[in-house]
Chains A and B, each alone.
Chain A
Amino acid sequence: MKVTLNWIGEFLSAERLEPENIASALTMSGTEVKKVEYMGDKYKDIVIGRVVDFSPHPDSDKLSLCEVDIGSSKLSIVCGAKNFKKEDRVAVALPGAKVKDITIRKNKIRGQISEGMMCSEMELGLSSESEGIMILDNSCEVGDSFSKSVGLDDVVLELEITPNRPDCLSVIGIAREISALIGAELITGEYDFQKRLNIDSKFKIEIDDYNLCPRYSAKLFRNIPNIQSPQWLKNRLILCDVRPIDLIVDLTNYVMLETGQPLHAFDKDMLYSNKIIVRRAGKGENIKTIDDSIRILDDDALVIADEDKAVAIAGIMGGKDTKISENTKNVLLESANFYGPSIMRTSKKIGLRSEASNRFEKKIDPMLTVFAIGKFEDLLEKVANFKTEECIYDNFKKVERERKINLRVGKVGQVLGKDIDAGLISGILTNLKISNRIKDNSIEATVPSFRYEDLEREIDLVEEVARIYGYDRLDSIPTSTRDRRGKYSLYQKTIKDIRQALCDIGLVEVINYSFISAESLKKFKINLEDGYKNNVEILNPINEDFKLLRPMLLPALMKNIKDNINHNIKDIGIFEISKVFKKNSSGKLPFEINMLGVMLTGKAAQKGWDEKERAFDFYDLKGILEFICKRYYPYGSLRIKERQYRFFHPRTSGIVNIEDLDVGIIGKIHPVIIEETETGQDAYYMELDMDKFINNIKETQKYKFVPAFPSIDIDLAIVVDNKIKSEDIVNEIKENGTELLKKIRLFDIYRGEQIEKDKKSMAYSLSFRDDTRTLKDIEIEIIINRILESLGKKFNARIRE
């Protein structure tokens, strides 16, 4: 919200408001000042000029040569506009002035000297479009600063008003805050409404539900003057980001900005009868609003209606048919109070937010309605010398708008960590217009109507005291750390360690959105089996790409490598640790599983002066898997079980099994997917369920003796059929190796000239050891013979000569 300092000044007794001090005081008391804009600076070196004479430019049909009096001298100015005449007052930007961020200079235009520029409203930032230059009132003093002459010599504060302070959505509200902060007196003027309330019954207001509309006040203005708003009023609206329209609409906006009470003006003669009904909309009832769109309402919406049809959506926007036009003679001014939540619901439903709805949403003070009508009347008299003897029609249900709260002085100290004197507390509340008296160790406070919604409890008053007293004056007190030890849980620590380990071996961590499109799932054939039904779907996604919560990390990592390949980064190892989501039974929260995804593509090693180039393959990925496994599980816990997945190459696709628990999948991305995603190079991927992986780790490991006796290492090379799997050979060796066999390591695979076609030589290093004695060669010889015999039987293996 924007307010101007001159406007605020009208309601304060202070001599002068120092912008920086005011801004800082507001910010430090909870009304954050986002920006302070010095309009005088913006219009620096723009002065009032008088057109003395003008003639056509000798070299242009469109331009004129003007002589302009600026008091101290007369300037020659080349101008493109035609809408002025001799003696007109105009805004002249002198050399050095900034207009729309361009600095004006003395220069030659088609051979003619131009010593400045005559500005249009658009160039002055006063409207979004304008024809010709701005012609000012003849009362403007030639040579005066432009901003001073038209009331733009002001300071605009851009404020952030928190949702609990609807009372601050107004110039008067802000003035009230400032008065409490700097101790100036608040002057809002006195109105005696009582004698003018409901003295006749020419007009009727009917309220169906006082819960939705606690108060509806209105007043008739007959034969309103058909004039424009004065420039100063327009300018104030402009400074507050409100577009001037016509006198009546401008006045309603002005009063809303000033008091916080939204007003609406109907063309009285367009209403069906002398009766206004505040009621719920009929289901499907529609209304054409002033922005020319047809709004279809449901029965939750509140409308203002005459006896024929709805004429406004309450608190949000008026109807087109009854809107003020240049032909309007008589006006019905509405100043009503609507129930915030209802306005919020409707405004959300029809997707329409306005300055009015924004204020109603936050529950504004029903006491404001007649006050605002009074302000409107005053203003109309001031700008158009218009007076009326009509009464104010006012329909309301009497409600309690005063609240007593007992504030314990000790509580203030307890919450803030600093004892504040009762007298000081009382003074702060008084300045905030909260009447109070000190009694024993408490303060009995009475909350006024304009703070009724926001100050309900003792703690609310503690906050009021704290923010006016100043947070910066409260002490900083170390928190005692008794009984507390901070640390990562085992789970958290393991995740952190795995993340670090993966980075250490060269992988880069990515983080992707949790969203995925249905199309992407189809492309990867994820959840195809259950017809893609098992996904968690968002009812109101930003767009189709963000429609579902992802059940796998795979598509995102695939996209990551593709995007990077497009940037010519082609050798990539990335991982992500994030949650994936699976649908639960209806009404329950979905399952969330913490997943690790690892993707490799491109080269594992670049060609170097001493290194060979090598592409990533399955075994690089499996190596990473083994690397993680080894940290937490004993030797031999990991197995890859062959299993086909639609997104993996049918011959390179498996389940990751650790200690008989399936914890993930691993494989080579299916060539069809590589092609469809236009990735252009092979990729290898695994995804591990971190919850299973970590929860399955045995927490404590017992110490084992460091071997005291040497091991005997035997190398064994056997020739078998190509199709025989290493895992099966290893299992067979283990089977026959006795408990003395401690370790098996494959160290060579050979296919080629020296052995038959379709066969391969597999060379293993076997390590035998006994923890209680030194082994004899003969023992091992017997075991090796047994192993060879069984390998021969089972796989037709023979020892390689």
Chain B
Amino acid sequence: MQRSEISKQEAKILFRDNTYKIMSKKEKNIDQLEKKIKTELDNFTRELETVKNLIELDKIRTKYIGKKSFLIKTLKNIGDLPDDIKPIAGKKSNTARNKIESDILKKEKIFKNIEYKNKLRKESIDLSLPGRSTGTGRKNIISQVVEEIEEIFIGMGFEIAEGPEVETDYYNFEALNTPRDHPARSLHDTFFISENILLRTHTSPVQIRYMESHKPPLLIIVPGKVYRRDYDVSHTPMFTQIEGLVIDKGINFGNLKWTLETFAHEIFGKDRKVRFRPHYFPFTEPSAEVDVSCNICGGKGCRVCSGSGWLEILGAGMVDPNLYSFVGYNPEEVSGFAFGMGIERICMLRYGIDDLRLFFENDLRFINQF
């Protein structure tokens, strides 16, 4: 507060010193002020021309519109002026100050640009240096494909069911229409834990388990490990399957075709042809094997498709009505279809892998390729 009072005092002295003699008349007073302001502006403009950097610019800012500058003092003490002069003096001073301010800002922008340029020029780095490493993890190819297939079927309204890998003979064979002494059992070379307990040879037992505990409508897929007693280039004692089951009123073979065509197009591409061939499975009737056209030869026949132009991808069929008797459904009321595929086979076809055993050797040079 004190400081500002002192300023008022100073202003009075200023007016006294420079203008007292001519303050008797209003016009003269204004004329005097205008002259002074003009002189200030002229001086400012001249000095601004010579300014070379931001520091010098700051100096003339202080000089012309700083607290102690003529213009600011005038504006500050305008209240002390006679009433008739006040408005004109205020207006003139403000205009002058604004002009100075904007000129300085313009100049400042130019200097700042130059300064940035100079500063940034010094900050260059070698963009070709390698970045700091982050993780290079990889999901196993089998998981990748399983998840991809799961998402396709989830999109079609399916849920995902799971079941035990060690099964009873009942769920793995018996309830799937494959009693003891059934010739189809010889297709599944089985690992046994005891006479009635075995490693499941397919994911199909989950069909029965799920039907036992759920009522139609149901749409499920069942991913999981399965086991068969076989070990060579094209057989491993463990591999991965995805099973599917759809049961509802009025489900027919046409629905099976649509679902599996849609799936095959999603996983192998819309341009691939899909065909359904009659086949035999003990727990479906009619049964089918599903092929997609060979992508290597475009269907003309080559080594990969052993000349047929087609690649087998899955087995499927209408659920055999006998199965419904095991789970208490009425075959005249509901119907459905089931399908199953080997994941490693899908991977092999997609990526051209020729040795099934690679999937379980866990050579990082293999896994990291996908």
User: Which positions in A face B, CB cutoff 8 Å?
Assistant: 27-30, 32, 34-36, 162-165, 340-341, 344-345, 348, 361-363, 414-418, 457, 459-460, 462-463, 466-467, 471-472, 474-479, 481-489, 492, 496, 499-500, 502-515, 536-542, 546, 549, 560, 563-564, 567, 569, 572-574, 578-579, 581, 586-587, 589-590, 592, 605-606, 608-611
Can you name 24 A-B pairs with beta carbons within 8 Å? Answer: A162-B280, A164-B184, A340-B181, A414-B250, A414-B252, A415-B253, A462-B286, A467-B286, A471-B277, A471-B278, A471-B288, A484-B158, A485-B157, A486-B219, A499-B139, A506-B135, A509-B140, A512-B360, A538-B199, A540-B191, A567-B365, A587-B194, A590-B193, A610-B129
* Cβ of B187 under 8 Å from chain A: yes
How many angstroms from the CA of A475 to the CA of B308 in the assembled complex?
24
Chain A residues with CB under 8 Å of B285's CB are 459-460, 462-463
How many angstroms from the CA of A362 to the CA of B186 in the assembled complex?
11
Least Cβ distance of A409 to chain B in Å?
Answer: 15
Task: Find residues 242-259 in chain B having any chain A CB closer than 8 Å to their own CB.
Answer: 246, 250-255, 257-259
* Cβ of B73 under 8 Å from chain A: no
* Cβ of B318 under 8 Å from chain A: yes
Across the interface, do B362 and A609 meet the contact criterion of CB distance under 8 Å? no
Report the interface size for chain B: residues with CB under 8 A from the other chain: 89
How many angstroms from the CA of A340 to the CA of B181 in the assembled complex?
8
Closest to A454 in B: B280
Least Cβ distance of A550 to chain B in Å?
Answer: 11
Across the interface, do A504 and B137 meet the contact criterion of CB distance under 8 Å? yes
Chain A residues with CB under 8 Å of B365's CB are 567, 569
Across the interface, do B137 and A507 meet the contact criterion of CB distance under 8 Å? yes
How many angstroms from the CA of A574 to the CA of B138 in the assembled complex?
9
Closest to A479 in B: B255
**With A502-B137, A514-B238, A538-B191 given, is the CB distance from A463 to B278 under 8 Å?**
yes
* Cβ of B160 under 8 Å from chain A: yes
How many angstroms from the CA of A39 to the CA of B286 in the assembled complex?
35
Give B157-181 as 1s and 0s: 1 = Cβ < 8 Å from A's Cβ atoms: 1111010111110000000000011
Chain A residues with CB under 8 Å of B156's CB are 479, 481, 486
Closest to B134 in A: A506
Least Cβ distance of A675 to chain B in Å?
Answer: 22
How many angstroms from the CA of A499 to the CA of B359 in the assembled complex?
18
Across the interface, do A340 and B254 meet the contact criterion of CB distance under 8 Å? no
Task: Find residues 133-155 in chain B having any chain A CB closer than 8 Å to their own CB.
Answer: 133-140, 142-143, 147, 150, 153-155
Across the interface, do B135 and A515 meet the contact criterion of CB distance under 8 Å? no
Partner of B139 from the list A361, A474, A476, A503 (CB cut-off 8 Å) is: A503
Chain B residues with CB under 8 Å of A344's CB are 181, 183, 186
* Cβ of B82 under 8 Å from chain A: no
Q: Which of B64-72, B110-118, B224-232 contacts A (4 or more CB under 8 A)?
A: B224-232
Across the interface, do B160 and A492 meet the contact criterion of CB distance under 8 Å? yes
Across the interface, do B186 and A361 meet the contact criterion of CB distance under 8 Å? yes
**With A463-B286, A492-B160 given, is the CB distance from A479 to B187 under 8 Å?**
no
How many angstroms from the CA of A417 to the CA of B246 in the assembled complex?
15
How many angstroms from the CA of A32 to the CA of B142 in the assembled complex?
29
Across the interface, do B225 and A589 meet the contact criterion of CB distance under 8 Å? no
Chain A residues with CB under 8 Å of B287's CB are 463
Chain A residues with CB under 8 Å of B237's CB are 513, 515, 542, 546
Chain A residues with CB under 8 Å of B194's CB are 539, 586-587
Chain B residues with CB under 8 Å of A489's CB are 159-160
Chain B residues with CB under 8 Å of A590's CB are 166, 193
Partner of A536 from the list B166, B186, B238 (CB cut-off 8 Å) is: B166
**With A164-B280, A514-B225, A514-B227 given, is the CB distance from A508 to B219 under 8 Å?**
no
Partner of B167 from the list A162, A414, A589 (CB cut-off 8 Å) is: A589
How many angstroms from the CA of A496 to the CA of B144 in the assembled complex?
10
**With A508-B138, A513-B238 given, is the CB distance from A361 to B183 under 8 Å?**
yes
Closest to B259 in A: A479
Least Cβ distance of A341 to chain B in Å?
Answer: 3
Chain A residues with CB under 8 Å of B138's CB are 503, 508-509
Least Cβ distance of A108 to chain B in Å?
Answer: 35
* Cβ of B17 under 8 Å from chain A: no
Sample of 10 more A-B contacts, CB < 8 Å, known A462-B285, A563-B363, A564-B363: A27-B277, A415-B335, A417-B253, A459-B285, A479-B259, A485-B157, A514-B238, A564-B362, A572-B364, A609-B129
Across the interface, do B217 and A506 meet the contact criterion of CB distance under 8 Å? no
Across the interface, do B157 and A481 meet the contact criterion of CB distance under 8 Å? yes
* Cβ of B123 under 8 Å from chain A: no
Task: Find residues 178-228 in chain B having any chain A CB closer than 8 Å to their own CB.
Answer: 180-181, 183-184, 186-187, 191-194, 196-197, 199, 217, 219, 225, 227
Closest to A468 in B: B278
Across the interface, do A579 and B165 meet the contact criterion of CB distance under 8 Å? yes
Chain A residues with CB under 8 Å of B303's CB are none
Across the interface, do B157 and A486 meet the contact criterion of CB distance under 8 Å? yes
* Cβ of B368 under 8 Å from chain A: yes
Chain A residues with CB under 8 Å of B275's CB are 28, 471-472
Across the interface, do B364 and A488 meet the contact criterion of CB distance under 8 Å? no
Across the interface, do B254 and A538 meet the contact criterion of CB distance under 8 Å? no
Closest to B135 in A: A506
Across the interface, do B140 and A30 meet the contact criterion of CB distance under 8 Å? no
Partner of A510 from the list B236, B289, B362 (CB cut-off 8 Å) is: B362
Across the interface, do A505 and B165 meet the contact criterion of CB distance under 8 Å? no
**With A162-B280, A542-B237, A589-B166 given, is the CB distance from A418 to B137 under 8 Å?**
no
Chain B residues with CB under 8 Å of A541's CB are 191
Least Cβ distance of B170 to chain A in Å?
Answer: 11
Partner of A482 from the list B217, B308, B362 (CB cut-off 8 Å) is: B217
Closest to A543 in B: B231
Least Cβ distance of A690 to chain B in Å?
Answer: 12
Chain A residues with CB under 8 Å of B227's CB are 514
Task: Find residues 296-347 in chain B having any chain A CB closer than 8 Å to their own CB.
Answer: 306-308, 318, 320-321, 335
Chain A residues with CB under 8 Å of B139's CB are 499-500, 503, 509
How many angstroms from the CA of A590 to the CA of B365 in the assembled complex?
35
Least Cβ distance of B134 to chain A in Å?
Answer: 7
Chain A residues with CB under 8 Å of B193's CB are 536-539, 590
Chain B residues with CB under 8 Å of A560's CB are 362
Chain A residues with CB under 8 Å of B286's CB are 415-416, 459, 462-463, 466-467
Chain B residues with CB under 8 Å of A567's CB are 363-365
Give B17-47 as 1s and 0s: 1 = Cβ < 8 Å from A's Cβ atoms: 0000000000000000000000000000000
Partner of B359 from the list A506, A511, A540 (CB cut-off 8 Å) is: A511
How many angstroms from the CA of A252 to the CA of B342 in the assembled complex?
40
Across the interface, do B252 and A477 meet the contact criterion of CB distance under 8 Å? yes
How many angstroms from the CA of A578 to the CA of B238 in the assembled complex?
13
